[in-house]
Chain A
Amino acid sequence: MKSKYLLVMLVGLLSTALLLAGCGGTDKKTSAPAAEKTKVAFVYVGPVGDAGWSYAHDQGRKYLMEKMPDVQTTIIESVPEGADSERVITQLAEQGHKIIFTTSFGYMDPTINVSKKYPNVVFMHCSGFKTAPNVGTYFGRIYQARYLSGIVAGKATKSNVIGYVAAHPIPEVIRGINAFTLGVRSVNPDAKVKVIWTNTWYDPAKEKQAGLSLLDAGADVIAQHQDTPGPQQAAEERGKFSIGYNTDMSKMAPKAVLTSAVWNWGPYYVNVVDAVKKGTWKSEQYWGPMKDNIVGLAPYGPMVTEETKKAVEDAKQKILSGQWDVFTGPIKDQSGAIRIAEGTKMSDQDMLQFNWFVEGVEGTIAK
């Protein structure tokens, strides 16, 4: 009997030790002296280790730490959207954080709810549309980067079939596919973009499988919207090309990745924290254009030609000028009917509600 208790204690001790070791990793980030440092918190929907969405935000946080050494940051990872997040955000506000970045769409209502109780805390919600005097929203026009990456894909394809591994059928993903396709067809009007929905944000094996299916169907360039490099690896394995998303994915598929459409949150985080410290911050809905460097292209792979780079640079200048944007007419839908008249720019409102594909996309939007 005695040995049994000893065993229980041993197992208990071991697991406690492991748990403590586990917590040690996150504690480090908050252990700096809190004297007069500005406390900033980040709430992430995934693990920082997703190498995608939350990872990109965390790169932004690291940039902030580097640029503003008097800022102390706290991160909370893998916070489920909904009631749990409200509790987490409340706790962060309670702990004296001056600025709280909530980085997923589903944190919208929780952020608004908590903000009412803490009027002296600034809340910044990523990708939503609800604001309050102390709540601002922010997002980036990643579709502009996707358009440029489409040019690279359109120039690289030989079969004129490009595969797009799509996540969930929501306006943001549809907008990305459309912008990408317009980019492809601006340099290669014969090319088609085939879409497969995985209905996942995060399943590397399944997303790779979707990529392989597109390659089987004759695609020779693969683009994607999910947070894992699965589709990139499919292209690498078959000796084809790919376009990454979120962060530079070239490390995972060096022979395949032509470029990636990437987020660059760092400079924006610095601006926000700086404005709050100076007292110039005010609530706004920020949908950052490429001009602000919040979105862009990762460095090109060695296989990308000078001619392609030139075509991308020309389009980039057009976008940066502000005179022209990706969804400027004439733009036709899949049936060939003109949806945006010549010379008209699609409004932000319409862009945020995208529910149709442009001409050149092969695929359907599940209702």
Chain B
Amino acid sequence: MSDSTLVISILAAAITAGTPILYAALGELLTERAGILNLGVEGIMLIGAVSGFIIAVVTGNSWFGLAAAMFAGGAIALIHAVLTVTLRANQVVSGLALTLFGTGLSGYLGKSYIGIPVPSPFTIQPLGFLTDIPVLGPVLFRHDILVYASYGLVVFLWLFLYRTRPGLFLRALGENPAAADSLGSNVFALRYLYIVLGGMLCGVGGAYLSLAYAPSWLENMTAGRGWIAVALVIFALWNPWRALVGSYLFGGIDALGFHLQVSGVTVSPFFLNMLPYLFTILVLVFVMIRQHGRLTAPGALGLPYDREER
């Protein structure tokens, strides 16, 4: 295998491996932009993976599965919304509880669906002439439709956040909910909305694993990707483009490690597995130094909002 095809296959593998993380990270990004920390990503992804899988098997149509994953992800996130927005519960505790709950519930629901193949998984569909572009073509345009959709989603979210009024309100919601409130935003309704939307995207991330990447259901199949997504949002400094780059970087670490092994270079896999978190810490250190201790995190992230206390 020549060097250029090797690079192409590593990059293409990085995108496939990064896509479930990207969906989950974009969902978490949306939620955190609204000022709510949701540590339930891992559990929501699992719920998305299992419900998407079950519906895809029952109906024979993976699109229905995808819709079910979004619905289920949104429904689980709704619990978080009730607890953290209405009841003003501790967001960390609620999120962790959701992860534990999602892990257990997904295992229970999926029990009788183990070892069954998906009737029509999302398969690779090269995008015609676009694949002829040197290097970029085979890297970017030889994937399944969910990968293409994730490109679009990143562009959309970036435009939404920085170029539209609702996007501005969303940022205000996380930055200073009292100010957003006085501008006439309904803080509670909007936080509900973005938590649920975030959960739906995490659900898609899970369904990507069970319907496209490794089309099958296995208990705990996310294997920690939800946590990587949470770290990634910080790494990305709450920006969709950096989330995209980060996802592919994190996703590509495995592919890189395996290709190194094949070519006879041994790098400790433990070192490689550590890299995503190491990068996140480095980014934090870098940003804190450069911006004099002012992290670009949404100012009100993690704080419950109470109208009477403003």
Q: Taking beta carbons and an 8 Å cutoff, which residues of A are in contact with B? A: 4, 7-8, 11, 15, 18, 21-22, 25, 46-51, 55, 194-200, 202-206, 208-210, 212-214, 216-218, 228-230, 233, 237, 247, 251-252, 254, 362-364, 366
Question: A22 — which chain B residues lie within 8 A by C-beta?
Answer: 104-105, 108
Question: Given the complex of chains A and B, what is the CA–CA distance between A55 and B110 in angstroms?
Answer: 14
Q: Which 8 A-B residue pairs are closest in the complex by CB-CB distance?
A: A213-B258, A47-B219, A204-B214, A203-B223, A217-B262, A49-B219, A49-B114, A199-B269
Task: Tell me, yes or no, whether B17 is within 8 Å of chain A by CB.
Answer: yes
B223-265 interface (Cβ within 8 A of A): 223, 225, 254-255, 258-259, 261-264
Task: Tell me, yes or no, whether B79 is within 8 Å of chain A by CB.
Answer: yes
Task: Tell me, yes or no, whether B83 is within 8 Å of chain A by CB.
Answer: yes
Interface size on B, residues (CB 8 A): 49
A-B contact pairs, 20 of them (CB 8 A): A7-B82, A7-B87, A11-B83, A22-B105, A25-B108, A47-B107, A47-B219, A47-B220, A49-B219, A199-B273, A204-B223, A206-B223, A206-B254, A209-B255, A210-B254, A228-B221, A251-B115, A251-B116, A252-B115, A366-B268
Known contacts A49-B218, A55-B114, A228-B218; A366 and B108 CB within 8 A of each other: no
Question: Given the complex of chains A and B, what is the CA–CA distance between A206 and B228 in angstroms?
Answer: 14
Question: A214 — which chain B residues lie within 8 A by C-beta?
Answer: 258, 262
Which of A4, A25, A252 has a CB less than 8 Å from the CB of B87?
Answer: A4
CB pair A251–B270 under 8 Å, yes or no, is: no
Q: Which residue of B lies closest to A363 (CB)?
A: B261
Question: B83 — which chain A residues lie within 8 A by C-beta?
Answer: 11
CB pair B261–A209 under 8 Å, yes or no, is: no
Distance of B239 from chain A, by nearest CB (Å): 25
Q: Which residue of B lies closest to A14 (CB)?
A: B79
Q: Taking beta carbons and an 8 Å cutoff, which residues of B are in contact with A? A: 1, 6, 9, 13, 17, 20, 79, 82-83, 86-87, 101, 104-105, 107-108, 110-111, 114-117, 123-124, 209, 213-221, 223, 225, 254-255, 258-259, 261-264, 266, 268-270, 273
Known contacts A15-B101, A206-B254, A233-B214; A213 and B259 CB within 8 A of each other: yes
Given A209-B13, A210-B258, A216-B1, 17 more A-B residue pairs with CB atoms under 8 Å apart are A7-B86, A11-B79, A11-B82, A11-B83, A25-B108, A47-B219, A49-B114, A50-B218, A199-B269, A202-B218, A202-B223, A204-B223, A209-B254, A213-B261, A216-B6, A366-B266, A366-B269
Question: A199 — which chain B residues lie within 8 A by C-beta?
Answer: 269-270, 273
Question: Given the complex of chains A and B, what is the CA–CA distance between A210 and B258 in angstroms?
Answer: 6
Distance of B249 from chain A, by nearest CB (Å): 15
Question: A364 — which chain B residues lie within 8 A by C-beta?
Answer: 264, 266
Question: B1 — which chain A residues lie within 8 A by C-beta?
Answer: 216-218
Question: Given the complex of chains A and B, what is the CA–CA distance between A233 and B82 in angstroms?
Answer: 40
Question: B261 — which chain A residues lie within 8 A by C-beta?
Answer: 195-197, 213, 363
Question: Given the complex of chains A and B, what is the CA–CA distance between A47 and B218 in angstroms?
Answer: 9
Question: Given the complex of chains A and B, what is the CA–CA distance between A22 and B231 in angstroms?
Answer: 31
CB pair A49–B111 under 8 Å, yes or no, is: yes
